[in-house]
Structure 1
Amino acid sequence: MNMWSNREALLEKIRAQMHDKRYQHTLGVAASAKQLAERFGADPEKAELAGFLHDYCKCWPVEKMLEILVRHDMPTELLEGEKELWHAFAAAIVIQTELGVTDTEILQAVRYHTTGRAGMSMLEKVVCVADYIEPNRNYPGVEEIRTLAQHDLDAALAHALGGTIRFLIEKQKTVFPLTLIAYNDLVSQKGRAGGFNG
């Protein structure tokens, strides 16, 4: 990919967008995404790049993200939903318009890494799970997701999304519709295929 022609310059640009802890997380997601891609048959180079770019706008002011989302006609349910989701959709726009990323798979993996969606590609699943399990993550249930991700990516993702949904319900926060749809899609596929592996 031509973006890798100057890898260090790209990483410096990414680093300039965020504080150090977020950058360390970003490095962890990129490494985890590459490993998962190699394990499950996605493109490792695309997975690593999407991992580097997934939180490009995470540390931006919400006003700046909102302006980008409104300008690009994002749906009302996103704009009125949890602001925690905005950075993924904003990043997919910004890395295309400002960094010149044109690969649809990478853009989709960045856009849906927080919400998921029905019919996720292997690359989207890889980046989403990598975001949950990268080595710097430490929360109740992360080890179980890491274990599942050793052999069944769909099971790992369903478990991770299920945990997010439960957490949001317990906090009496709204659950973004795409996340419920993604979870239901994974579970219904599991039923048709006779269950998750292992």
Structure 2
Amino acid sequence: MINYKEVLLKKFQESNNPKAIKRYEHSLCVAKRAVEIIKEHNLNIDIKKAETAALLHDYAKFLTMDDFFEIVKENNLPSEILENDYIILHALLGPYVIKKELGIEDQEILDAVKYHTTGKANMDPLQEVLFVADFTEELRPNVENIREISKRDYKRAIALILEYTINLLISRKRKINPLSLEAFDYYRKYLVLDLSKIKKVVKTIEDDHNLVKDIKVYDARQNTPYYDFVIIATSPSLRQMKAAANYLKMEFAPRMIEDGDFWVLIDLNDIIIHIFLEEQREYYGLDKLLKDVPEIELD
């Protein structure tokens, strides 16, 4: 069985590029992050295949323009591909190098490598995972917010990565590949406010069982990457408060439920729910703390 870590290290070292070791460490971290994303979201993706694609995604990183010219010529590819920004050619042409030098013919792996920088509309799951992993691996600086969001909602992370990249290229007056524009046009729908889960929460504890009142919903997406919304509600009694938490537990399988003497916190991953008895809601004053966070009015 081929040890792709050793193969990649040798390939990078042969380039004599001073950034070779740093790029190798990046590739290892991308492979690690790809596996994390698959497990975080319980995706039906072969782990070994994902690790291989992630390890080799930058296999052609240190090739020269002359190398890329030869690849285009050898594979009878349209010469227009060389008009793309040099920085993405290692992705667009990398699959041909990987196939020739390593004998990998798995099209899912090759396509994931091809689109890991530009993305494309309606990527398959492996392509999506590699696209996100490349941007959110632990060594990449200044992406903490998107990294945290990717742990909860990787589709939204894709849209945010595309938006960030396109804006960065515009600010630097760099060429934007049409694939990235098409990808953003497709994935931008994941940036649209979706109230369906919030309405389901409210229906569960208020409409169906009448266990809470005075519900406030806050949109925290611009304030923190750790969750999207905060719901604060008042329960008339301790018994009703506990019952509300139990109904939410049955309906949503929370990540965590924390009980106080007169309050309960339910963590639904993207929604944090605080239920208080009336005096404790006033005492803790969370509504005042969130006064600058946009409030959502539900129909």
TM over 0.5: yes
Q: How many corresponding residue pairs?
A: 190
Percent of counterpart pairs with the same letter? 36
Q: 4+ runs of 1 displaced by more than 2 Å?
A: 69-78, 188-191, 193-198
Task: Check 1:44–1:63 CA distance in 2 against 1; reply closer, same or farther (3 A cut).
Answer: same
TM-score for the superposition, normalised by structure 1:
0.87
Answer whether contact 2:159 2:191 (CA < 8 A) is retained: no
Structure 1 unaligned regions, length at least 5 = none
Which ranges in structure 2 are unaligned for 5 or more consecutive residues? 13-19, 197-220, 222-227, 229-269, 271-299
Tell me which of the two structures has the higher relative contact order, counting C-alpha pairs closer than 8 angstroms and 6 or more residues apart.
Answer: 1
How much has 1:194 moved relative to structure 2?
Answer: 7.1
Pick the structure with more strand per residue: 2
**Most deviating of 20-29 and 90-99:** 90-99
- Which one has a bigger Cα radius of gyration? 2
Question: 1:188: Cα distance to partner?
Answer: 3.8
- The answer for the alignment partner of 1:6 in structure 2 is 2
RMSD: 2.2
Contact 1:14 1:53 (C-alpha < 8 Å) held by counterparts: yes
Residue 187 (structure 2) aligns with: 186
Matches of residues 117-136 of structure 1 in structure 2 within 5 Å? 117-136=120-139
Structure in which a larger fraction of residues adopt helix? 1
Once the two structures are TM-superposed, the CA of residue 144 in structure 1 deviates from its matched residue by: 1.2
CA distance in 2, matches of 1:47, 1:93: 18
Distance 1:94 1:194 in 2: 46
> Which is further off, 97-106 or 120-129?
97-106
How far the C-alpha of 1:77 sits from its partner, in A, is: 4.6
Matching residue's letter, 2:184: Y
Structure 2 Cα separation of the partners of residues 156 and 77 of structure 1:
31
Distance 2:156 2:73 in 1: 35
Q: How far, CA to CA, are the matches of 2:26 and 2:165 in structure 1?
A: 18
Q: Please, what TM-score do these two structures have when normalized by structure 2?
A: 0.59
Distance 2:129 2:98 in 1: 19
Using the TM superposition, give the Cα deviation of residue 98 of structure 1 relative to its aligned residue in structure 2, in angstroms: 1.7
Partner secondary structure for residue 123 of structure 2: coil
Q: Cα–Cα, structure 1 residues 161 and 77, in superposed 2: closer, same or farther, change >3 Å?
A: farther
